[in-house]
């Protein structure tokens, strides 16, 4: 692997004034289901096909949350950008059997793959210069969707949640905790689903994320568009998904932005240790997982790194 590690100082360069953007609501189909998306374009775009970035966000998220923040950043830097709601989330249609709010790595990876096919047909998109940007949980889905995909040129990951069995057990209560959640998942699936709140006040019971911060603050992630729902039927698929163990499948140049203060940095190190391609690694200091979602300074620094990575492919 050729690994380039950027220093924190490299991201502190003054940013140029950022332009306004234009957006257009679009939709596309996957397995007979309509998915809702948004195309972001630089202000005053003249119709010339642009290098493009498909942006996906954290688990349980909708496109108006952190995906929109990064899509705007990409459009402000001269790219077209595309966000969408996965099947079973936001304004998109359901998963099979009318299921919603299941964090399904398989289904979400399929949706990303179909999104690449869709954007390649848009007149505003240069189909030779399409890139993928995955944030948090969707980093693994994005890697899966771009690997071996001839439509995609490069991939960027911001605050990636790349887990393996060891990390899963450390986060979710050891072997006993994981086993219990998988049993809950199977019971919920057999019952046709079991929906609980995704986010709630710190210390709340019966909530996926009983924590303060991004998902529970109205001026951050608790926006009207956010479903704030979690289906316990999704636990098994999520807990048995181990993207940190499969870096060898990625055949695209990679850029990663993360922090030791954000979630599971050990997953990034594990992934990179087995990645044989070209990688740019940017470690930022004292940046939390939620900071990467919407803190303007940190979002801009992460966007600068991945945009430079995507431009390198455009210029080659």
DSSP secondary structure, 120-153, as one string: TTSTTEEEEEEEEEEETTHHHHHHHHHTT-TTEE
pTM for this structure? 0.95
Give dist(CA 50, CA 292) in Å, integer.
26
Residue 8 pLDDT greater than 70, yes or no? no
**Number of other CB atoms surrounding residue 288 within 10 Å:** 16
Share of the chain above pLDDT 90, in %: 92
Cross-strand partners of 24: 39
pLDDT per residue over 277-296, tens digit each?
A: 999 999 999 999 999 999 99
Helices 105-119, 138-146: axis angle to 10 degrees equals: 50
Q: What is the mean pLDDT of residues 236-252?
A: 97
pLDDT per residue over 13-59, tens digit each?
A: 333 334 589 999 999 999 999 999 999 999 999 999 999 999 999 99
* Token pair for 162: 């790349």
pLDDT band at 3 (very low <50, low <70, confident <90, very high): confident
Place of tokens 């001269």: 78
State the CATH architecture for 2-164+243-315.
3-Layer(aba) Sandwich (3.40)
Residue 184 pLDDT greater than 80, yes or no? yes
Q: How much is the pLDDT for 315?
A: 67
Cross-strand partners of 132: 54, 155
Q: How much is the pLDDT for 12?
A: 41
Q: How much is the pLDDT for 316?
A: 57
Q: How much is the pLDDT for 313?
A: 85
Q: Are 58 and 133 in contact (CB under 8 A)?
A: no
pLDDT band at 100 (very low <50, low <70, confident <90, very high): very high
Given strand 21-30, what is the order of strands in its sheet?
2-6, 278-284, 254-259, 152-158, 125-135, 50-56, 80-84, 33-42, 21-30
Q: Where are the domains of the chain?
A: 2-164+243-315
Q: How much is the pLDDT for 69?
A: 98
pLDDT band at 9 (very low <50, low <70, confident <90, very high): very low
**Region for 142 from its dihedrals, namely left if φ exceeds 0, alpha if ψ lies in -120 to 50, beta otherwise:** alpha
Residue 7 pLDDT greater than 80, yes or no? no
Q: Are 34 and 92 in contact (CB under 8 A)?
A: yes
Residue whose C-alpha is closest to residue 139's, from 222, 246, 277, 225:
246
Cross-strand partners of 36: 27
């Amino acid at each position: 692997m050729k690994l380039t590690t950027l220093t924190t100082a490299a991201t502190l360069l003054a940013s140029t004034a950022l332009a306004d953007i234009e957006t257009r609501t679009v939709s596309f189909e996957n397995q007979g289901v309509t998915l809702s998306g948004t195309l972001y374009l630089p202000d005053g775009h003249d119709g010339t096909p642009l290098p493009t970035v498909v942006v996906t966000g954290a688990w349980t998220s909708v496109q108006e949350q952190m995906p929109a923040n990064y899509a705007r950043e990409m459009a402000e830097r001269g790219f077209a950008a595309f966000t969408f709601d996965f099947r079973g989330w936001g304004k998109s249609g359901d998963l099979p059997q009318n299921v919603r709010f299941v964090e399904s790595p398989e289904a979400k990876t399929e949706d990303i793959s179909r999104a690449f096919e869709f954007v390649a047909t848009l007149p505003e998109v240069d189909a030779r210069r399409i890139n993928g940007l995955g944030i948090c949980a969707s980093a693994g889905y994005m890697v899966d969707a771009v690997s071996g995909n001839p439509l995609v040129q490069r991939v960027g990951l911001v605050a990636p949640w790349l887990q393996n069995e060891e990390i899963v057990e450390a986060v979710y209560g050891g072997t006993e905790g994981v086993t219990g959640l998988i049993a809950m998942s199977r019971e919920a699936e057999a019952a046709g689903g079991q929906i609980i709140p995704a986010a709630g006040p710190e210390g709340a019971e019966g909530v996926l994320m009983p924590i303060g911060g991004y998902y529970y603050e109205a001026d951050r992630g608790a926006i009207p568009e956010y479903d704030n729902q979690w289906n316990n039927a999704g636990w098994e698929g999520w807990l048995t998904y181990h993207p940190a163990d499969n870096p060898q499948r990625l055949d695209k140049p990679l850029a990663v932005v993360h922090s030791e203060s954000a979630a599971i940095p050990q997953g990034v190190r594990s992934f990179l240790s087995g990645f044989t391609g070209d990688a740019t690694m940017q470690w930022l200091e004292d940046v939390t997982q939620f900071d990467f979602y919407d803190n303007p300074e940190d979002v801009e620094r992460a966007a600068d790194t991945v945009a430079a990575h995507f431009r390198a492919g455009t210029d080659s």
